[in-house]
């Protein structure tokens, strides 16, 4: 039943086998203060903004009270972290409930940084303010770029310090997700070896995210294929905007196809497939150019965990899993080329497009061109202002591209319109994100973050106001390093 704040929980996860979660409440914090709040998201969830700002509502966002009294789940999962298999689980997060929106949609409401759980191992169950603000900023930017993602409803500072290398101010993020089911959730269930639990989990995921496959001849196989397709589409979207996730472990690969876990993520400025920001990714495993291969690898782990459900005979099941995984690259490449064509204003597929796209990227790499601003300049016919212009070969490329645009039945204006809606004017530039985090964490000034959020809320507007947020100062171009969101 809906309460006065608008919480309207229907908790289906607790119907799953008990091995998949542990029930517990959050640990209260001393002095919660609401520092960021997402009005539009609250409204779409059916929540009352004003009441959430008042003490009773705020207590829920701080983990000092649970909206429906007694629910709070830490979910069990496993995962391959940088290739190594480990038992994990929500070590610092709790599912408060599944909110049913006025439109009838279901979203997990999860607190991140809410205290220790059965899965915390040696951790304190807490989160630092900087990384929670970073997750809020980047996840919201991704949402407005049109990329499936978990979202951020609020950040509450706790008034308590968390001990990392130094003492840092603590915070709790309220994360909103289609669900928190991960490849790692399936690895966990499969690893325990209880086929009934695995089956129950697969049924649950199908019902929640892929109801259309429930009637298929082999629903588990159709489910696997659907997850592969959604993840392939998702990663293509990341690549198209230059997003580097940074920690694509199997526990950070969702079943719903949403981007999750904004730790050391960042957007690439200069185009370079080897781009890595994360301080711990010394091998470049999760570099920009590796992301499609890495998600493909994660999906192979997903397929393995589903083997007991795919066919009665194991050999046959493995074959079905392998065939499904083979499909990944076709879906991915198709999605990526289609997106790239749109970024170049091309409406129809032609054989030479592949070469046109690849030679552009090669030129961008050679001239150290800014990824976002190159496409933005092409959109507005300002290619002479880009780093590309320094290359002798650019003239030829440009001629070919313009001829290709000329040969289309669609007008130049239509092509430009297509480009404007696929080439963002603004992305969360690293120096802008840092500036916002520094003002907030060091000076308790949230105006910079709020302004950035406004600018990022309409990335395809190409407005004058966005101009200042599109540039990268020369001093910021190299060596940006991010740290895991702890
Ligand atoms: P992540 O790197 O955020 O994907 O987290 C990997 C695993 O470490 C997950 O199981 C988290 O719940 C757990 N974890 C991360 N930070 C903490 C913390 N401060 N306390 C307890 N567990 C944590
Ligand atoms: Mg994670």
Tens-digit pLDDT profile for residues 262-313: 999 999 999 999 999 988 888 999 999 999 999 999 999 999 999 999 999 9
State the DSSP string of 176-195: EES---BHHHHHHHHHHT-H
Phi, psi dihedral angles at 303 (to 5 degrees)? -60, -45
CA of 263, closest atom in ligand 1:
3
Asked whether residue 31 is domain-assigned, the answer is yes
State the Rg of the chain over Cα: 23
Confidence at 481, pLDDT banded by 50, 70, 90? confident
C-alpha of residue 406 to centroid of ligand 1, in Å: 53
CB of 261 within 6 A of ligand 1: the answer is yes
C-alpha of residue 382 to centroid of ligand 1, in Å: 45
Q: Please say whether the beta carbons of 139 and 173 come within 8 A.
A: no
CB of 163 within 6 A of ligand 1: the answer is no
Q: Please say whether the beta carbons of 448 and 436 come within 8 A.
A: yes
476: exposed, middle or buried (C-beta count within 10 Å: 0-12, 13-18, 19+)? middle
Residue 463 has, within 13 A of its CA and on its CB side, a CA count of 9
- C-alpha span between 75 and 215 (Å, rounded): 28
Q: How many CB atoms lie within 10 A of CB 155?
A: 29
Structural domain boundaries, residue 89: 9-183
C-alpha of residue 252 to centroid of ligand 2, in Å: 5
The residues, any chain, with a CB within 8 Å of residue 444's CB and separated by 6 or more, are none
Q: Please say whether the beta carbons of 28 and 63 come within 8 A.
A: yes
Nearest CA-CA partner of 169 in 280, 25, 29, 54: 29
Asked whether residue 484 is domain-assigned, the answer is no
CB of 327 within 6 A of ligand 1: the answer is no
Tens-digit pLDDT profile for residues 431-461: 999 999 999 999 999 999 999 999 999 999 9
Q: Please say whether the beta carbons of 106 and 98 come within 8 A.
A: yes
Asked whether residue 369 is domain-assigned, the answer is yes
Q: For residues 212-233, give the mean pLDDT.
A: 98
Asked whether residue 232 is domain-assigned, the answer is no
Nearest CA-CA partner of 338 in 237, 459, 460: 237
CB of 182 within 6 A of ligand 1: the answer is no
At residue 70, the pLDDT reads: 74
Give, using CA atoms, the residue closest to atom 11 of ligand 1: 91
Q: Please say whether the beta carbons of 90 and 117 come within 8 A.
A: yes
Flag whether pLDDT at 63 surpasses 70: yes
Confidence at 478, pLDDT banded by 50, 70, 90? low
At residue 485, the pLDDT reads: 53
CB of 417 within 6 A of ligand 1: the answer is no
CB of 246 within 6 A of ligand 1: the answer is no
At residue 378, the pLDDT reads: 98
At residue 242, the pLDDT reads: 98
User: Of the residues 149, 183, 217, which one is the last residue of a structural domain?
Assistant: 183
Q: Tell me what the pLDDT averaged over the chain comes to.
A: 96
Please state the pTM of the whole predicted model. 0.97
Confidence at 482, pLDDT banded by 50, 70, 90? confident
CA of 90, closest atom in ligand 1:
12
Phi, psi dihedral angles at 132 (to 5 degrees)? -70, -35
CB of 387 within 6 A of ligand 1: the answer is no
State both tokens at 315.
């050999």
Q: For residues 208-235, give the mean pLDDT.
A: 98
272 tagged catalytic: no
Asked whether residue 130 is domain-assigned, the answer is yes
C-alpha of residue 286 to centroid of ligand 1, in Å: 18
- Indicate which ligand has the atom closest to the C-alpha of 188: 1
Tens-digit pLDDT profile for residues 124-165: 999 999 999 999 999 999 999 999 999 999 999 999 999 999
CA of 122, closest atom in ligand 1:
21
End-to-end CA, the chain? 35
Give, using CA atoms, the residue closest to atom 22 of ligand 1: 91
Asked whether residue 71 is domain-assigned, the answer is yes
CB of 86 within 6 A of ligand 1: the answer is no
- Indicate which ligand has the atom closest to the C-alpha of 93: 1
Q: b/e for 436-459, b at 16 or more Cβ within 10 A?
A: bbebbbeeeebebbebbbebbeeb
Asked whether residue 57 is domain-assigned, the answer is yes
CB of 428 within 6 A of ligand 1: the answer is no
C-alpha of residue 261 to centroid of ligand 2, in Å: 5
Q: Please say whether the beta carbons of 406 and 397 come within 8 A.
A: no
The residues, any chain, with a CB within 8 Å of residue 334's CB and separated by 6 or more, are none
User: Of the residues 380, 403, 420, which one is the last residue of a structural domain?
Assistant: 420
CA of 124, closest atom in ligand 1:
20
- C-alpha span between 301 and 281 (Å, rounded): 21
Distance of CA 125 to the CA centre of its chain: 22
**What's the DSSP call for residue 247?**
-
CA of 251, closest atom in ligand 1:
4
Name the residue of 22, 80, 91, 261 to mutate for ligand 1: max ligand atoms within 8 A of Cβ: 91
What stretch of H or E contains 169? Answer: strand 167-177
CB of 281 within 6 A of ligand 1: the answer is no
C-alpha of residue 162 to centroid of ligand 1, in Å: 14
State how many domains the chain has: 2
Phi, psi dihedral angles at 346 (to 5 degrees)? -100, 120
Surrounding residues of ion ligand 2, Cβ less than 5 A: 251-252, 261
At residue 25, the pLDDT reads: 93
State both tokens at 67.
């909206």
Q: Please say whether the beta carbons of 485 and 130 come within 8 A.
A: no
- Indicate which ligand has the atom closest to the C-alpha of 86: 1
Q: How many CB atoms lie within 10 A of CB 307?
A: 18
User: Of the residues 163, 183, 203, which one is the last residue of a structural domain?
Assistant: 183
- Indicate which ligand has the atom closest to the C-alpha of 92: 1
Q: Given the DSSP bridges, would you call strands 106-112 and 21-23 parallel, antiparallel or unpaired?
A: unpaired
Give, using CA atoms, the residue closest to atom 23 of ligand 1: 91
The residues, any chain, with a CB within 8 Å of residue 262's CB and separated by 6 or more, are 134, 135, 138, 139, 485
- C-alpha span between 137 and 288 (Å, rounded): 20
State both tokens at 31.
């002095």
Confidence at 486, pLDDT banded by 50, 70, 90? low
CB of 79 within 6 A of ligand 1: the answer is no
State both tokens at 250.
């199997």
Tens-digit pLDDT profile for residues 327-351: 999 999 999 999 999 999 999 999 9
Nearest CA-CA partner of 254 in 302, 321, 213: 302
At residue 2, the pLDDT reads: 75
State both tokens at 484.
């895991």
The active-site residue out of 108, 251, 281, 370 is: 251
- Indicate which ligand has the atom closest to the C-alpha of 120: 1
Flag whether pLDDT at 175 surpasses 70: yes
**What's the DSSP call for residue 458?**
S
Q: How many CB atoms lie within 10 A of CB 266?
A: 27
Asked whether residue 198 is domain-assigned, the answer is no
CB of 118 within 6 A of ligand 1: the answer is no
């Amino acid at each position: 039943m809906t309460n006065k704040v608008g919480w309207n929980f229907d908790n289906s996860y607790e119907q799953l086998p008990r091995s998949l979660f542990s029930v517990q409440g959050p640990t209260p914090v001393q002095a919660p203060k609401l520092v960021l709040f997402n009005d539009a998201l609250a409204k779409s969830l059916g929540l009352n903004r004003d009441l959430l700002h008042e003490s009773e509502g705020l207590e829920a966002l701080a983990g000092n009270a649970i909206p429906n009294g007694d629910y709070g789940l830490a979910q069990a999962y496993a995962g391959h972290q940088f290739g190594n298999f480990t038992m994990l689980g929500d070590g610092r997060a709790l599912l408060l409930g599944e909110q049913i929106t006025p439109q009838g949609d279901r979203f997990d409401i999860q607190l991140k940084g809410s205290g220790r759980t059965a899965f915390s191992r040696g951790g304190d169950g807490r989160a630092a303010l900087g990384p929670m603000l970073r997750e809020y900023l980047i996840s919201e930017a991704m949402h407005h770029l049109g990329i499936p993602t978990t979202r951020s409803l609020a950040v509450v500072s706790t008034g308590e310090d968390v001990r990392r290398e130094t003492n840092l101010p603590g915070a709790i993020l309220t994360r909103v997700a289609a669900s928190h089911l991960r490849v790692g959730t399936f690895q966990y269930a499969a690893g325990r070896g209880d086929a009934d639990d695995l089956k129950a989990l697969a049924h649950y995921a199908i019902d929640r995210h892929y109801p259309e496959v429930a009637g298929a001849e082999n629903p588990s196989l159709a489910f696997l294929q659907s997850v592969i397709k959604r993840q392939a589409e998702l990663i293509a979207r990341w690549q198209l905007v230059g997003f580097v996730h940074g920690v694509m472990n199997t526990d950070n690969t969702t079943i719903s196809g949403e981007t999750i876990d904004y730790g050391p993520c960042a957007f690439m400025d200069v185009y370079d497939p080897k781009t890595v920001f994360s301080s711990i990714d010394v091998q470049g495993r999760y570099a920009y150019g590796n992301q499609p291969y890495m998600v493909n690898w994660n999906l192979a782990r997903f397929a393995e965990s589903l083997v007991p459900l795919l066919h009665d005979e194991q050999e046959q099941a493995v074959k079905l899993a392998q065939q499904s995984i083979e499909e990944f690259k076709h879906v991915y490449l198709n999605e990526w080329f289609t997106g790239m064509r749109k970024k170049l204003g091309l409406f129809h597929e032609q054989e030479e497009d592949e070469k046109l796209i690849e030679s552009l990227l090669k030129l961008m790499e050679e001239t150290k061109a800014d990824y976002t601003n190159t496409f933005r300049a092409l959109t507005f016919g300002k290619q002479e202002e880009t780093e590309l212009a320094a290359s002798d070969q650019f003239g030829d490329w440009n001629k070919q591209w313009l001829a290709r645009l000329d040969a289309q039945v669609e007008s130049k204006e239509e092509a430009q319109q297509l480009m404007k809606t696929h080439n963002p004017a603004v992305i969360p530039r690293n120096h802008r994100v840092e500036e916002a985090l520094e003002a907030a964490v060091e000076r308790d000034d949230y105006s910079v973050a709020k302004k950035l959020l406004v600018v990022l809320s309409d990335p395809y507007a190409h407005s004058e106001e966005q101009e200042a947020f599109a540039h990268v100062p020369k001093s910021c171009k190299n060596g940006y390093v991010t740290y895991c969101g702890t």
